[in-house]
Homo-oligomer: A and B are copies of this chain.
Amino acid sequence: MTADSSCSKRESGDDRRVAIALAARRIIFERGLEGLRTRDIAASVGINIATLHYHVPTKEALVALVAESLRHDFKAQAMRHPRTGKNGLERLHLEFDDFRETVLEMPELVVVLTELIARARRDPAVAEIMIPMREFWKNQIADVFRLGIADGSFRSDVDPDAAALIVTGAVSDCWRRSDMSPALLDQFLAELERAFTPR
């Protein structure tokens, strides 16, 4: 206890808010938005409830902070692997590699994403963050399909927008299952590629 000198120093506002968002994400993962309590977050961060309110004034603002936090991670993720010089199919394949990595590294991500997307229906502040995120992802995949059709790595009768909806939807749902064996995951992703490749 006395050796713990890091506790005597105050964190900056931004660091605090990051810690708050991460704690909230963990709790949402475990208990859903349903079970998210401001006091639990404060306890998890190691601060008083009033301090939490000092940094994040309302619970609603807190949920929006979580949404921002997710957006931030999502963005960092999207920049991870360059796609230049790859054809459509190769890019789709890289998307799936990213997916596998994310499942391993951030299992909680999609559970929290799902809760926030559901909340977007009833909270405009959250919608403002989550819906553009989702659309961005879908449009990225649609562009991969357009490229693939042009370079011949996908069937010419593929509808890029519809295909993107299929891929993003199937991948999201698969992610939510979280109990899939690696073998079944491989089967699933292989079948998803086969769905669009020429014969």
Contact = CB atoms under 8 A, between A and B. Distances in A.
A191 B158 CA distance: 7
A31 interface: yes
B173 A188 contact: no
A128 interface: no
A170 B159 contact: no
A165 interface: yes
Contact of A32 (B119, B155, B163): B119
A102 interface: no
Contact of A172 (B32, B173, B198): B173
B172 A191 contact: no
Contacts of A150: none
A30 B114 CA distance: 16
A194 B163 CA distance: 10
Given A155-B194, A166-B170, A169-B171, 12 more contacts: A30-B122, A33-B34, A34-B34, A114-B118, A115-B118, A118-B118, A162-B190, A165-B188, A165-B191, A169-B169, A170-B170, A199-B199
